[in-house]
Amino acid sequence: MRVIVNRHQAAHAPPQETDNGLPVPPWEVPDRVAAIRAALEVRGGFVFEDAPPGDADAVTGLHDPAYVTYLRETGAELAKARGAAPRFVVPSVFPFGPAPRVRGGRAARGGYCFDTFTPITAGTYAAALGGAAAALRAADLVAGGGDRAVYVLTRPPGHHAEKARCGGYSYLNNAALAADRLSKLGPVAVLDLDVHHGNGTQHLFYHRADVLTVSVHGDPELLFPYFSGFEDETGTGPGLGFNRNLPLPPGTGERKYRPALETALEVVSGFRPAFVVVSFGVDSHEADPIGGFRLPTEYFAKMGAGVRQSGVPVVVVQEGGYNCDVLGACAAKFLGGLEGTTGTSA
């Protein structure tokens, strides 16, 4: 299997995130990618390819051009910072109301971000654009017919990024960008298996019938992002009925997760997609520090095998997963199940 690598991912290395007003060590770190790549190299059978250079024009079809410019210019300003100037930007004010007046500065920080977990650093834009380039390269490969499955090994994640807002460690929505490109060739199903609901992906396709979004995740009443991912969110306008959420309670293990995944796969199959894009998270693992689910390592092979049953080309985009001790093994299991070399039906 071909693995598209974002060689700029380590440029994004936030010194902290902010939780309940307190600075805490970040969970989303460059070591995540290193852990997965090491495990895949040990397993063998993977060909690693650097993503092509990122192109801002390639992401502004989905993301607001002004937002993309904000990410780029904020990073450039931080790169010039000297002395005691801060090396990262995080919102302290979140504009709200029917027509908030956001003209820049501190208002822009909150206008373009929905949480305090997602700082922008000097290297954030390069890393995010590199991830987008990797996902688009994977989409082009499966569209070309030579690859039945391609894995995008990147960070920061993307599925929380909305049209003009970052959050949830996400800045550009890699999976959505891949799905949007593939949608020019036929219907696409996005299957989100991260423990946190992909509010950004839902947001971007909520009004569209050509891209189905299906997500299995933790109940948003109790788990990030808290405001998105409820069962009654089913789409709007032409997209009505083309968004499906399957929220599950804290402590969910294989017994409760399996029927939800089976339902998700049935919904995907019923849509008859030409392509499937998987937002793949390992934060549903029993040892993840912030997920709250109880899935064992071996179950990830069954997840991959279930996706394989779709019978169509698949792009797998790495999203969450924050225990570097298990990340690599879970990714290897999932990809092995997807290839049909390990695992059984979900």
Q: Active-site positions?
A: 160
DSSP three-state, residue 51: coil
Count the Cβ atoms, other than its own, within 10 Å of residue 225: 19
Radius of gyration from C-alpha coordinates of the chain: 19
Tokens 């109880």 identify what position?
294
| CA 110/CA 341 separation, integer angstroms | 46
What token pair was written down for 13?
């290395």
> For residue 180, is it left (φ>0), alpha (ψ between -120 and 50) or beta?
alpha
What token pair was written down for 195?
């423990």
Q: Which amino acid is at 26?
A: P
285 beta partners: 295
Tokens 């902290």 identify what position?
16
Peptide bond into 225 cis (omega under 30): yes
| CA 124/CA 130 separation, integer angstroms | 10
Give just the sign of the alpha carbon dihedral 66, 236, 218, 182: negative
